[in-house]
Amino acid sequence: MSVEHYWAPRTLDEALGHLAGGDVTILAGGTDLMPQKNAGRVRLGRGLLNLSRVDALRGVAVEKGCLRIGALATITELLAHAAVREHADVLAQACDRFASDQLRNAATIGGNVCNASPAGDTLVPLLVLDAEVELASRPNGSVATRTLPLAAFLTGPGRTARAPHELLVALRVPLRRAPAVGRFFKFGTRPALDISTISIGFAASRDGGTLRDVRLAYGAVAPVPMRSHAAEAALDGAALTDATIARAAAAAREDVRPIDDVRASAWYRRELVFNMTRRILDDVAHA
């Protein structure tokens, strides 16, 4: 079966209206969708909804105690945006390890989140930033929105809590007052254009020699990107000594649930989780 309708609406209302009709595939940058379609892994619905002209989905702004990132913001835009550097540095770092320039110009953050790959590179920093997703729909004529924590939105590899008639409108990152540290680490077999074998996001606020509000997340080591609460607990309120660092790294290694695939074995992913968590924390301790 092939696509029967193609829409490229300009308003959110129209877009949601088309979605309400059912069996519609959403197209943003297409950098996940098209390869997946060509490989026969996804089937396009009867309708194809191109979001690229919906201005309401664009833009990055600070509003109501949040950094609000429109679903259509591209990786290139995030990299260039001062507010992202200021309030979500760990996300900016991840964007700097994302694919290549050509991809970054097309790939959107909404597409990365909705694609829900365990290796999606914006998911790990968004998790450590306690991001929320903003969803909209038009079930019976009027627009309804709801907000979910990202952790609740991601339900499995390639699966989310988004209903078929819902659109991801924006991501919201709460602003924090305390001076913060953030680190993103991505491991692939080469420095550019690689899918993460593992990734690590770290954020915390600094209170003299100790860390507070520690958030540590891992990608490509479980069905969905995950926080390691055990490692966070080992670090929270503690001074970053070698012993603390080793304890946290070991806790993270216990927490993750990696698999063997063509890119790496589960054993090696666990080793990387330990070694690289230690390296990041060493780096923070000596910064």
Partner 1 sequence: MTVIAKESLIGKRVAKLDAPEKASGRTRYVHDLDLPGQLHARILRSSRVHARIVSIDTSRARALPGVHAVLTAADVPWQRPLGVGRDQLPLKGDRVRSLRDEIAAVAAETVEIAEAALRLVDVVYEDLPPLTDVRAALAPGAPVIHEGRPPTKGAERPDAASHPNVAMTFDYAQGDVAAGEAASDVVVDGWFRLHYVTHCCMGVSGMIAQFDATGNLTLHSNTQVPFLHKREFAEILGIDPGRIRIIQPPIGGGFGSKLDIYPFEPICVFLAKATGRPVKLVFTREEEFLASPTRQPVLLRLTSGARRDGTLTFRVCETLHDNGAYTSWGATTPFVMMQTISSLYRVPHVRYHTTAAYTNNPYAGSFRGYGNLQATFAVEQQMDELAEKLGIDPLAFRLRNAQDPGEVTPQGMHFRTCGLKECLATAAGASGFLAKHAAARAAQRAPGRVKRGVGMASMLHVGGGAKIYPSDGCGTILKIDDFAHVTLITGASEIGQGSETVLAQLVCEELGVPLDAITVVNNDTDITPWDVGVHASRTTFIGGNSAIGAARKAKAKILAAAARSAGCAEAELDLRGGHIVRAASGEAVTTLAKLLRSLHFSDRAELVMTTHYYEPPSRHQDAAYKGDVSAAYAWATQVVEVEVDTDTGVVRLVKVTGAHDVGRVLNRLGIEGQIEGGIVMGQGYALTEDLVVDHGVVRNPAFRDYKLVTAPEIPAMDVHFIETMDGEGPQGAKGVGEAPAICMAAATANAIANATGVRLRELPFTPEKVYRALRSAAG
Ligand X SMILES: Cc1cc2nc3c(=O)[nH]c(=O)nc-3n(C[C@H](O)[C@H](O)[C@H](O)COP(=O)(O)OP(=O)(O)OC[C@H]3O[C@@H](n4cnc5c(N)ncnc54)[C@H](O)[C@@H]3O)c2cc1C
Q: Which residues bind ligand X (CB under 6 A)?
A: 25-33, 35, 51, 71, 98-99, 103, 106-108, 110-112, 114-115, 120-121, 162, 167-168, 193
Q: Pick the closest to residue 139 from 111, 100, 104, 166 (CA basis).
A: 166
Are 25 and 49 in contact by the 8 Å Cβ rule? The answer is yes
Q: Which residues bind partner 1 (CB under 8 A)?
A: 187, 189-195, 262-265, 268, 271-272, 275-276, 278-279
Q: Which does 191 bind (CB under 5 to 8 A by kind): ligand X, partner 1, none?
A: partner 1
Least CB distance to partner 1 at residue 218 (A): 15
d(CA 28, CA 107): 8
Which of partner 1, ligand X, none has residue 189 at its interface (CB below 5 to 8 Å by kind)? partner 1
**Residue 115 binds which entry of ligand X, partner 1, none, CB below 5-8 Å type-dependent:** ligand X
DSSP designation for 175? -
Q: Give min distance, CB of 166 to partner 1, in A.
A: 29
Helical packing angle, 242-255 and 266-286, nearest 10°: 150
Unique residue bearing structure tokens 């970053």: 240
The DSSP code sequence of 257-270 is -----SS--HHHHH
Q: Please say which residue, 108 or 277, places its beta carbon nearer to ligand X.
A: 108
Nearer to ligand X (CB atom), residue 144 or residue 193: 193
Query: Which residue has 């659109």 as its token pair?
Result: 167
Smallest separation, CB 21 to partner 1 (Å): 27
Cβ proximity of 204 and 213 under 8 Å: yes
268 binds, among partner 1, ligand X, none (CB under 5 to 8 A by kind): partner 1
Q: What is the largest CA-CA distance in the chain?
A: 62
Q: How far is the CB of 118 from partner 1 (least distance, A)?
A: 15
Residue 56, SS3 per DSSP: helix
d(CA 133, CA 151): 10
Cα distance between residue 50 and residue 19, in whole Å? 11
- Closest approach of Cβ 54 to ligand X, in Å? 9
The interface partner of residue 29, options being partner 1, ligand X, none and the CB cut-off 5 to 8 Å by kind, is ligand X
The region that residue 264 occupies, defined by phi over 0 for left and psi between -120 and 50 for alpha, beta otherwise, is: beta
What is the amino acid identity at position 194? D
Q: Please choose which of partner 1, ligand X, none residue 187 contacts, taking the beta carbon within 5 to 8 angstroms, the exact cut-off set by kind.
A: partner 1
Closest separation in Å from C-beta 224 to ligand X: 13
Q: How far apart are CA 111 and CA 49, in angstroms?
A: 13
Closer CB to partner 1, 207 or 283, in the complex:
283
For the chain, how big is the Rg over CA atoms in Å?
19
* Least spacing, CB of residue 49 vs ligand X, in Å: 8
- H/E stretch holding 138: none
Q: Which one of partner 1, ligand X, none interacts with residue 31, CB within 5 to 8 A by kind?
A: ligand X
- Which is nearer to ligand X, 57 or 234 (by Cβ)? 57
Closer residue to partner 1, CB minimum distance, 98 or 187 = 187
